[in-house]
A and B are shown apart, each in its own frame.
Chain A
Amino acid sequence: MQRPIRRWQADDRKSYSIIWNVAGTSAPKESEPGVAITAPAPFLRLEGISKSYGGVAALSDVNFGCDLGRIHAVVGENGAGKSSLMKIISGVVRPDTGKIIVRDKQVSFSSPSESSRHGIACIFQELSLLPDLSVADNIWITNPPKRFGLIDRAQQSVAAKQILHDIGCTDIHPSERVKDLPLSRQQMVEIAKALVRKPRLMIMDEATSALTSRDVEQLYRVIRQLRDKGLAILFISHRMHEITALADVCSVFRNGRHIETFAMSSRTVSQIVPLMIGRDVAQAYPQKPSHNLFQASLPRLEIKNLHWEQVINDISAKIGPGEILGLGGLDGQGQKELLLALFGVMRAVKGEVRIDGSSRNIGHPRFAKSPKIRMALIPEDRKTEGLLLPMSIRDNLVLAAAPELSNQGIINAARESVAVEETVRKLQIKVGRLDAPVRTLSGGNQQKVVVGKWLMEEPRILLLNDPTRGIDVGTKQELYRLIRELATSGISILLYSTDYEELIGMCDRVVVCYEGRLVQELGGKDLTAENLIAASLNLTQAGTQSAETKTSFKATHASSSTRAAWRRFWRKNAGPCIAFFVAALMFGLFAAMQPNGLNINVLTSVSNKAVVLALVAMGQTLVIVTGGFDLSAGMVMTMASCLASVVITGSAMEVGLGVCLVILSGVLAGILNALVIVKGRLQPIIATLATGAIYYGIALILRPSPGGDVNEELSNALTYNVGGFIPTTFLIIVCVLIFVWWPFRNVVTGRTCFAVGSSENAAYMSGLPIGRARFAAYILAGLLYACGGLFLALISLSGEASASQGGVYTLNSIAAVAIGGTSLFGGAGGMLGAIFGAAVLRTISDLLFVFNAPALWQPLFQGFILLGAVCLGSIRALRRKNQMDVFL
């Protein structure tokens, strides 16, 4: 048995700081690379590891080790096997052969949670954050501070703040939702999340790719301190200067083989790079043409006084044919928005865009690529914006150019094939079959597909958003050469890059963005690293100190003022609040119209009317939060009510047993649902469609014809009131909220349900117990449906196996959850909203009745109110200024 590494313990609680003596002022001594303070001790060894995917070897016979107290860089081109190696170490994939040895004991990881139990934490290139959860929840996702077994959110928030402070991110508020943060902040949260696990080995896979230079500096300090504290750090980066600045030891991988490991001090970059690519890098950047070539001709693209939403402030620029204009500056100064605005993504852009001298209004990417403009955008994130990963290489390549390659919308396969093959040849994309999913290509080749897709369009203006991010040295060189060739052929190029060297090496001129303005233009001899950095920090103007602190992220986000807190609250809870107001308004109207005033009998009847749907909707909430839908909800409820109509009769003892039996039936249904979904790996919506038929069948067996003899005493006890002023059913709902919902939200398993719904991949990467969380959600949901069925039987005193009733309850429960503001995509929401939603749906008919609405109009009103309620929350979609925000 492997001894687990010491984790969170009571005595750690006083200080949440992960870096013991980090203080802003007394910066600790930074040791020279290659000279670690503590003596290295071996932590992890890999022996003879091989892994292949579909016959292609990703790793072959790798022997590798890393020591505590060392920063160990792993370098190599994309496809060299670095990522596979990291996935094996972190337990995401299992090796085909070979041994993993942690501290002299052989281990085998079947999931990230197992490797994390051995003290290994991994920061992945693809963020493993849960977008709908707060920063604090994300940081403490696996081992939160607890009190009485429940997550201590106050403590958690304090602790998160401390850690963010340690890594220099004072601008992130712990209760901010992660999806509201910009990418660079998300990456810092990711790093904080790995640190709080107090790992012995920390893997950083391209963890700095989106960071601003200030973050990187701060991070270097933290990493060195961790190293000095005796951590082993595995560091993957394509930025050689980062590696030379940080690493003590370096391992080179090539074609799935471990080539060499050496002390960093023993080699220079120019010695390492040939090892990686197996050939010499003659010249990093292609030759630039003479500088004043572009001044004479009419500009291809001219931007005049462009404004957008305080993010782009009065930008004017010109690009000539064949020119490469660089867009520089710190991350998040409006550069990306400028590219998107030019491409027609932004709404309400003020200013003028001229193409070849004539003014153009581009409102959709479709217009941007129209024949008169022919603009192309290589987006920031190739995985979510550039490519359709599961679709074939061919389909991806022809997507943008499709209209030109088809006959009036009908596919011309022959013409497409010719064009696709030509592009593949021209860009030297290494593909096996063109019908293979693009996902199977390496990162560099994927990026070539993105570029190729737009080249097939034969663009005249090319907008590039950090096109070489996370790409290996070899492919980078090819892309540089390609970009210059395209420029030479007459295409105007606007290149945004976070890499200064790239801007200097590639661009004819560079304009530097600062807070949405162009602060300086650099060209010719002025285009130097010093000038670029100075301009990026806006050092040429007053207020130099504030430049760095005011990066992309508005200070208001992190502020703890009451107003900011309210804004955060509203962002998270707008849905339930709206549902509450609608429900309160309706109830107020209803109460005001009561002839005899609002007495307990009226309240009880309203509450009894809503209780069944409320319980079913509360169960449905649990399932929807995990990102599923339970189409069997109404059928489980029907089955339970039929069972209740059979067993809840006779002596008190028998009635008690009957109630237990009814609830047990719901639990069993929940277990069956969870089994087929978790163990059978079926889509919830479709699995519950099938199990629902089974539950309905059972209901028919229990009660072939409507009827039953439900114990009236129990019915009276549970459907009247308590103390003459609170309806019993209302009290039951409150009890469920307190004893089911509240604990559920505050235990790790419950929070995992939110995590799974928010992003299943990220939850898996974080080593969360996904299966257990799903089981809990479905079983609790089944239990609540059964409670709903029990109350239906108690209220109607009989049971009926009706398929339509079951169906109506299922659909209404989803509607109630949606009206209550729970995201139907999972990850956010709550039972309280579902109760309001059920109340709204159930009191509509009463309300219409007291308003003397004609009976025939009532169903129509109900439909409109349902439709109106769900549209209400979506009105904001119409006001979005960035059209990409509407996509998930």
Chain B
Amino acid sequence: MTGMFSKANRPIWIEAAFVLVILLVGATINPNILSINYLLQQLQVASFLGIVAAGSMLVILLGHIDLSIPWTITTGGMLATAAADLPATAGLLTLPVGLGVGLLVGLVNGLGVCWLRVPSMIFTLGMNAVLQGLIVLYTGGFAPQNHASRAMTIVAVDHTLGIPNAVFIWAIVSLIIIFLLRGTQFGRYIYAVGNRERAAYLSGVPTRLVIVSCFAISGMTAALAGIMLTGYSTKAYQGMGDAYLLPAIAAIVLGGTNVLGGSGRYIGTIVGVILIVILQSILSVLQIPEAGRQIAYGAVLLGMLLVYGRGARIFE
């Protein structure tokens, strides 16, 4: 078996070390940063991004990409709130409706990609636009008046044993993904399709089913994140998903996943998410203006990638 310090795990160790460095640097300026409360709060914030990244990582492993995430998050959040407000359901429909919307979006994405063979980048982009149109139509262009339901508050804000519930949900999602990728046939098929769909197909792998399933999971995780975000910010609003697409991709790639598909470990994505959240948080704790934060964020991303994300020279 590959050792803990093997080459494949190098990005993850570098990443983890960098998280520590950021925390320590931050702590020298503001010692509160090392407090349990602050760290737990960061984990809670990270769980939203982490759940989004979990699903999109499967799609990236296939060699595809899901750009419909921003409005899947928003649609999930909005429709879940709407379902929660339906009379006589006692809010029981919140989660099923939200997740169902995500599933539906994912299925359409997957079918477009595997059946029509539209490049995923452009199909999911179109899907994003359609979702945006639907939501504009649904809300009438105004911010909806519905508030987050109790169920949403429970999953996003409440604590159990002093730990935010959102973190538990992230952990559950992560365990499922890890099991999928490492313990099942389906996981192996994902890597196979990501490496070369042609060879996978000729080995009898149901490649279409694999693609549709991964997009469906990606849609569901995005919608789940939307539901939790609604709970966290007490209401759903347009553009609530905009800040999640690119950081999720960045987190996945920082974790050593090949953006062209075929290789990558989920644990790297978790650390990548933490890295990005901590970095953003510390930059704002240090009261660096927005412009500086953006530049620092970009520079750190570039620097990290240059350290280990470099593609191999052809024929080395």
Contact = CB atoms under 8 A, between A and B. Distances in A.
B280 to A, nearest CB: 11
B126 A399 contact: no
A409 B196 contact: no
Contact of B199 (A93, A388, A760): A388
Given A388-B196, A686-B253, A693 B183 contact: no
A858 B313 CA distance: 48
A824 B125 CA distance: 13
Interface string A662-700: 000000000000001000111101110111111011101
Interface in B212-270: 239, 242, 246, 249-250, 253, 259-260, 262-263
B45 to A, nearest CB: 19
Interface residues of A, number: 88
Interface stretch (B22-30, B49-57, B167-175, B289-297): B289-297
Name B's interface SS: helix
B230 to A, nearest CB: 20
A445 B196 CA distance: 20
A752 B126 CA distance: 31
B204 A365 contact: yes
Interface in B109-146: 112, 115-119, 121-123, 125-134, 136-137, 140-141
A693 B283 CA distance: 14
Interface string A367-380: 01100000001010
Contacts of B313: 681
B163 to A, nearest CB: 30
A506 to B, nearest CB: 23
A697 B295 CA distance: 5
Most A Cβ at <10 Å: residue of B205, B263, B302: B302
Interface in B281-314: 289-299, 301-302, 305-306, 309-314
A856 B134 CA distance: 9
A693 B118 contact: no
B140 A856 contact: yes
Name A's interface SS: helix
Interface in A804-854: 804, 807, 811, 814-815, 818, 824-825
Nearest to B120: A824
B121 A687 contact: no
Nearest to B245: A807
B116 A691 contact: no
A883 B197 CA distance: 12
A148 interface: no
Contacts of A676: 302, 306
Given A690-B302, A697-B291, A814 B191 contact: no
A694 B116 contact: no
Given A867-B123, A867-B130, A878-B116, A887 B298 contact: no
B2 interface: yes
Contact of B116 (A406, A629, A874): A874
Nearest to B292: A697
Contact of B239 (A385, A696, A804): A804
Nearest to B209: A366
Contacts of A411: 182-185, 188
B121 A385 contact: no
A504 interface: no
Interface of A: 87, 92-93, 343, 345, 364-366, 368-369, 377, 379, 384-391, 395, 398-400, 402-403, 406, 409-411, 435, 453, 629, 631, 676, 680-683, 685-687, 689-694, 696-698, 700-701, 704, 760-761, 764, 804, 807, 811, 814-815, 818, 824-825, 855-864, 866-867, 870-871, 874-875, 877-878, 883-884, 886-888
Given A386-B202, A860-B137, A866-B130, 14 more contacts: A93-B315, A365-B203, A389-B196, A395-B188, A395-B192, A411-B182, A681-B311, A689-B249, A690-B305, A693-B301, A815-B125, A863-B128, A877-B115, A884-B201
